[in-house]
Amino acid sequence: MRGRSYSPSPPPRYSRRGGGGGGRSPSPRRRYAPRESDLPTSLLVRNLRHDCRPEDLRRPFGQFGPLKDIYLPKDYYTGQPRGFGFIQFVDPADAADAKYHMDGQVLLGRELTVVFAEENRKKPTEMRVRERSGRYSDRRRTPPRYSRSPRYSRSPPRHRTHSRSRDYDSPPPKRREYSRSLSPEDRRHSRERSHPSRERSYSRSPPPNNGDARSRSPSPEKGPVLSRSPSPNRDAREPARSRSPSQ
DNA sequence: GTTGAGCGTT
């Protein structure tokens, strides 16, 4: 069972075949691509511990070369680590090397599985679209079964997978609300009067979609594209006519 | 210039 045969020969250092995709057929239309840029530099590391942090990966993986980035995706709704991560190298050769050496290694008591990342990173926007009609085709964006707990409520992840000094502190859609004429002070004042018993749970709107929130438009009745605003001057029925007394 | 809701999570 555990006979993970080790390849008798060392890593071929990548011979343009790039097992991109973790040994899967890359692209049939790949002609001559002697470009190193074509080689994958991102590794997908599986079977990570759930409390594994990027720093834990940086050390072992950084031995093979400079890392460009490390990212550990988490469930957007629960914030739980998904157990895998991406490690991007600067040099594809280093990535290949790291993959070969790190695949099967044990980190924090877990045997890692390292493969090449298939697709490029996905953007939040893409993910959003995906949920709309992709992985979960249900109208109810039912999160993956493996991570859906009622007790988790919908707490937006205010976690930071990245230990970098970057400020990824606004995961969910940030909608510009609040009146633009109200000063912070006024706003607060007004808020207190308006919602005296409102808990301070105004932190931020969790993932949109509230189970069955079909109305996503905050103010659909305000159509800016429709008729332009009426004349400011109600008296001036004829703007270009009796506008000037003279002439 | 980028992008953290990245595919392989039980």
Task: Give residue A40's pLDDT band: very low, low, confident or very high (50, 70, 90).
Answer: confident
Distance between the alpha carbon (CA) of A68 and the C1' atom of B3, Å: 14
Distance CA A40, CA A71 (A): 16
Task: Give residue A121's pLDDT band: very low, low, confident or very high (50, 70, 90).
Answer: confident
Which nucleotide lies closest to A85 by the C1' atom and the CA atom?
B6
Place of tokens 């859906």: A148
Which amino acid is present at A125?
T
Which nucleotide lies closest to A126 by the C1' atom and the CA atom?
B5
Residue that wins the pLDDT comparison between A26 and A88: A88
Cβ atoms within 10 Å of A90's Cβ, excluding its own: 13
Which nucleotide lies closest to A144 by the C1' atom and the CA atom?
B9
Distance between the alpha carbon (CA) of A233 and the C1' atom of B6, Å: 55
Task: Calculate mean pLDDT across residues A217-241.
Answer: 44
Q: With the C-alpha atoms ordered A25, A29, A33, A36, is the resulting torsion angle positive or negative?
A: negative
List the single protein residue with the shortest CA to C1' distance from B9. A82
Name the range with the highest mean pLDDT among A11-15, A102-106, A227-231: A102-106
Give the pLDDT confidence score for residue A127 in this predicted structure.
Answer: 82
Task: Give residue A132's pLDDT band: very low, low, confident or very high (50, 70, 90).
Answer: low
Distance CA A39, CA A14 (A): 9
Report percent pLDDT > 90 for chain A: 25
pLDDT in tens, A45-87: 999 999 999 989 998 999 999 999 999 999 888 888 999 999 9
Distance CA A157, CA A180 (A): 27
Task: Calculate mean pLDDT across residues A115-121.
Answer: 86
DSSP A207-239: SS--SS-----S-TT--SSSSPPPPS-SS-SST
Which nucleotide lies closest to A146 by the C1' atom and the CA atom?
B10
Nucleotides of B under 7 A from a protein CB: 3-10
Which residues, in sequence order, are bridge partners of residue A106? A111
Distance CA A167, CA A149 (A): 27
Distance between the alpha carbon (CA) of A234 and the C1' atom of B6, Å: 56
Name the range with the highest mean pLDDT among A116-120, A138-142, A210-214: A116-120
